Homo-oligomer: A and B are copies of this chain.
């Protein structure tokens, strides 16, 4: 498997330009490619505290996706999983910082600490007020005081962003960021490694195993655990987080590390919502890709205990597409099934002539079972005759229950009966035909027009046209000729059915997959059935 990139070297700069072209937001980049990859807000007047974050790329939407009103002012991007340079960070600081100063939000990796740290010193030499916070929310390695910074960083972006937007000063914003960092805890789990562009994929995790406590740069997890179900996976993650989170109301952040499908993330969200391992998780950010590790099929959970003020800052609306909001977790709302799924049982009524007519039609198909099966072996699985004969026997058996004296209801009832006994595509199509005929009759349409309306509906739903080697090739000319009498209709049906033997490329239905050699000379069994029916009617009428 390769990747949709041009070159590894140009990956990040091209991705940034692609992002900027298609973000529809007030964003710009600094003119420093390829060395300086900095995205800044264009709608920024420097009267408020600027927030600058960044780090290696490969964590998208972090951090470019969080630059905008209410969150970051600038993002400084390194190459994939590589820290940006001091110059790049300094350029970002200088581009957005005014008299209110600048907060650097840095994830706890040596390269980021040093490059952001030195850039901060150089910016201070210009008289810019710069403070820096180091996010270390990963609890995977309890013995290491230098815990990594992972998805919990998003809480810092959002809370500091809301405060800065409200006009808070640098000290206030920095202090709030520090408080979030002191309280937030995160851990991740993955079923597969990520694919670093330009490097072969490391097949490290065997089937049935999961890595727990992994980093976001392809680092191995601290532990290999058995993977059984999403429920157990979420329980393991929450058990690890539990001793690391404080009391009170909590917000969970459910992060897709990149490669889990939305279905999986929704199942994990369901398990997180239902779990009682950690109490008082009432709010959720996600599930969404928030701080990814390229295409890693994994997730992480971050937990932050919040005060009402902190919650309000997290819930302040922002218009960034990458930010999923912080919502109240609630039980799924469930509405009753509407009435009407149980079909209305028609009131039986008597009409001996109609009963006889229906029985006669059914007998045509019952008699033709072997012949139609034989034709179907050339284009299908040889069961057209059996299917039609079976449905005909069932319909005959139900005649006494049908509303024979009420044409409108009768056709709908036949359609319903066929859809329940026949099965498969042909059953549904005949049910649609008879239902549509009944609808047309109930609207006052004459019989021939009603039958044509039914045929039109079948063509719409089934997608078959005349010439596609289906029953339509017999039914269409038959109905066209029917006003001139059944004999004319039967002749037209026969011509139409025989013509299907010359159609060597079926365009719809199962026969469309069959080679032309096998089709030539054999009538389509559906069209033949129609012809047989009309022929029988013309003889007996």
Query: Could you tell me which A residues sit within 8 Å of B by CB distance?
Result: 1-7, 11-12, 14-24, 27-32, 36, 40, 42, 57-58, 60-61, 65, 80, 86-87, 90-91, 94-95, 108, 110, 113-115, 117-118, 121-126, 132, 134, 144-146, 191-192, 197, 205, 207-208, 210, 227, 229-231, 233, 254, 258-271, 273, 284, 286-287, 289, 292, 294-295, 297, 299, 321, 324-325, 327-341, 343-344, 412, 415, 419, 425, 428-429, 431-432, 435-436, 438-439, 457, 460-463, 465, 468, 507-508, 512
Contacts and interface: CB of A to CB of B under 8 A. Distances in A.
B28 A333 contact: yes
B337 A31 contact: yes
Given A2-B191, A11-B267, A17-B270, A259 B262 contact: no
Contacts of A330: 21
A332 B197 CA distance: 24
Contact of A86 (B12, B146, B419, B465): B419
Contacts of A197: 263
Contacts of A113: 461-463
B337 A267 contact: no
Contacts of A432: 114, 117-118, 121
Contacts of A284: 22
A498 B243 CA distance: 37
Task: Determine chain A's interface SS by DSSP, over half rule.
Answer: mixed
Contacts of A86: 419, 428
Contact of A335 (B30, B144, B145, B337): B30
A333 B20 contact: yes
Contacts of A115: 428
A267 B424 CA distance: 45
Given A30-B334, A31-B337, A121-B432, 10 more contacts: A1-B192, A2-B191, A2-B207, A4-B268, A18-B273, A22-B329, A30-B338, A113-B461, A114-B428, A263-B294
